[in-house]
Structure 1
C-alpha cells in the first residue's frame, strides 16, 4: 500500500501501545501503590482522567503520558521508515 507523504501516526501507535491501560499499569507508571491509586480515584484526585468500565478503572494512554510529561507526538511515516533504514545499518556502505 502506497502511503501519502504527509500521513502521520501517533508515536505510541508506532510501537503498538494500547489505547487504554488498567489501574495497575497506570499506578506503576505514576509510581503509586495500587491502594493509593484506588483511594485517589475514589476521591477524584487521580493525576489523570479515569473512566469506569464495569467495576474497573481505565486510563487513556494519551492522558497517562500527559500526566507523566511525555508528549505523544505525531510521526511522519517517511521519518519512521528512514529511522528503520538507519537502525538496520548500511547494506552497501550508504544510507
Structure 2
C-alpha cells in the first residue's frame, strides 16, 4: 500500500486494509484482533472489526499524525486559611 493510499484512508478502516499496510495476512490480522493483540486500536462493531486509521498512521511513522507530547504541569501548594492540615487550627 502506498503512502498516498494510506493517507487517503477514512477515519477507520477494515482489518484487511490495515493488514495489507502492515504486510500481514488477513487470517493473522483477524486472529490478533480477536485476541486484542492487533498493533493498532481496533473497534468492534457487532461482528465486524474496524481499525483506527490514526493509530495505523502513527505505527507506520507517517508525518501527518504526530504523537502527543506529555505536558508537565507544576502545581504549587498554597497554605489555606483555616485548613487543619496546614497547621492553622
Q: Which one has the bigger helix percentage?
A: 1
Which residue of structure 2 aligns with residue 51 of structure 1?
43
SS in structure 2 opposite 1:52? Answer: strand
Matched residue count: 61
Given the superposition, is the C-alpha separation of residues 17 and 38 from structure 1 closer, same or farther in structure 2, using an over 3 Å criterion? closer
Q: CA RMSD in A?
A: 2.2
Displacement of 1:73 after TM fit? 4.5
Q: If the length of structure 1 is used for normalisation, what is the TM-score?
A: 0.56
Rounded Cα–Cα distance in structure 1 between residues aligned with 2:41 and 2:27: 17
Gaps of 5+ in 2: 67-89
Q: Where has structure 1 moved over 6 Å in runs of 4 or more?
A: none
The alignment partner of 2:34 has SS state of helix
Q: CA deviation at 1:16?
A: 5.0
Greater Cα radius of gyration, structure 1 or 2:
2
Is 1:18 aligned to residue 10 of structure 2? yes
Higher normalized strand content (fraction of residues): 1
Structure 1 alignment gaps of length 5 or more: 1-11, 75-95
Q: CA deviation at 1:71?
A: 2.6
Instruction: Give the whole-Å Cα distance in 1 for the aligned partners of 2:37 and 2:22.
Output: 13
- With CA pairs under 8 Å and 6+ residues apart, which has the higher RCO, 1 or 2? 1
